[in-house]
Homo-oligomer: A and B are copies of this chain.
Amino acid sequence: MPTAPAPKPLSQEEQAVMRALGRIMRMLPRMLDADLERDQRMSLSEYQVLRHLSETPCRVMRMSELAAAADMSLSGMTRLVGRLESLGFVERIRCEADGRGANAVLTDAGLARLREAWPSHLASVRRHIFDHLGDLDLPRLAAALAAMTGDGPSACDGAGCDE
């Protein structure tokens, strides 16, 4: 719809939400990333990849899975895994069943690195996020946030899902 017919403007309350959301979108990633970079010499995206791999049965994931899990393009993931590979944290091995596919495997060094970075990142998350949230109704907040990205209110609530 190139020239939409002017939907109704945001209410005061909606504007407040947008203002806060804007800051979240722009600053939270940078704050978490900066902490990790400063304390652990690791970028947030690198950390996420290691984490995703570590949470998988055999510490293996296809490149495409990894890209989807990290909400990144495949080419972006190629480069990111390339960096991690050159650091020795990940190995890329061709998929036996499908010669086109590549599996990213978390190495022991990679797992060690993740375990090393984990407390620092956790502290950062607590400091920036949960410390300010008080006694808020977290499930309700999570549902509201999840709704915004199209994830239905359900997804995987109760039990252990993949992350």
Q: What residues of chain A have their CB less than 8 Å away from a CB belonging to chain B?
A: 1-7, 9-10, 13-14, 16-21, 23-31, 39-40, 70-71, 116, 119-120, 122-123, 125-126, 128-130, 132-134, 136, 138-139, 141-151, 157, 163
Closest B residue to A137 by CB, please name it: B140
20 CB < 8 A contacts A-B = A2-B39, A2-B40, A4-B120, A4-B122, A6-B119, A10-B122, A13-B142, A14-B138, A17-B130, A19-B146, A19-B163, A20-B142, A20-B145, A20-B148, A21-B28, A24-B149, A26-B29, A30-B71, A134-B147, A141-B141
Task: Indicate if the CB atoms of A71 and B27 lie closer than 8 Å.
Answer: yes
Least distance between A142 CB and chain B CB atoms (Å): 4
**Residue numbers in B under 8 Å from A128 (CB-CB):** 148, 150
Task: Indicate if the CB atoms of B24 and A25 lie closer than 8 Å.
Answer: yes
Task: Indicate if the CB atoms of A142 and B16 lie closer than 8 Å.
Answer: yes
**Residue numbers in B under 8 Å from A6 (CB-CB):** 119, 122
Other-chain residue from B10, B18, B141, B150 in contact with A132 (beta carbon distance below 8 A):
B150
Task: Indicate if the CB atoms of B24 and A145 lie closer than 8 Å.
Answer: yes
**Residue numbers in B under 8 Å from A143 (CB-CB):** 20
Task: Indicate if the CB atoms of B25 and A29 lie closer than 8 Å.
Answer: yes
Task: Indicate if the CB atoms of A125 and B16 lie closer than 8 Å.
Answer: no
- Contacts A24-B148, A25-B29, A39-B1 known; A18 to B125 CB distance under 8 Å? yes
Task: Indicate if the CB atoms of A21 and B129 lie closer than 8 Å.
Answer: yes
